[in-house]
Structures are given as structure tokens and as C-alpha cells.
Amino acid sequence: MKLPVIKHLTNFIEENDQDYILETIETLEALTEVSSLKDEELDVMGELISNMYGAIEVNKMIKEGTPKKEALNAFMNRVMGSIDS
């Protein structure tokens, strides 16, 4: 996951609607079922999907009252903590 991408997507959600992101996730998940895709292509799609789910989670924290910067940092700390475990 990349914090600048999650931050950009979070801004997109604030300016538009998270439904765009959810529909994009559904589309990318459907595309992962194409049998002719290479591993590298699947990796890119997986990274995009992860970043989009991350942005949705950050947006949820912001809606619950967490300032954006704190929400981004808290999310990334959680991700890094789960990787280290």
C-alpha cells in the first residue's frame, strides 16, 4: 500500500463519492478472473484494490471524526503492524 495513493483516493472520495471506488473495486476484482493475465498484471490490480480499500477505511475514520492526517497515519500504522506480526 502506498500512502500518497491512499491520500489521493481519500480526496477523490471526499470530492465525489465512495461508490465510484466501490464500483472500480468490483470491476478490478472481476478482471482478476481473466485467465490470460500475467502475474505482474494481477499484482498491479491487487495493489490498486488494496489502496482503494485503504482509502475507504480512512474515509470511514474521517467521517467518524478523526482528522484526515491522523486517520491516514493510524491506518498505515495498522497496516505496518499487521505486516510485522
What pLDDT score does 85 carry?
56
What pLDDT score does 84 carry?
59
Helix, strand, or coil (residue 10): helix
The domain of 27 spans: 3-84
Per-residue pLDDT of 7-43, as tens digits, reads 999 999 999 999 999 999 999 999 999 999 999 999 9
Asked whether the beta carbons of 48 and 6 are under 8 A apart, the reply is no
CA-to-CA dists, residue 51 to 6, 28, 35, angstroms: 6, 12, 23
Count how many domains the chain has.
1
Q: What is the mean pLDDT of residues 37-53?
A: 96
Grid coordinates representing 47? 495493489
Instruction: Check: pTM over 0.85? Answer yes or no.
Output: yes
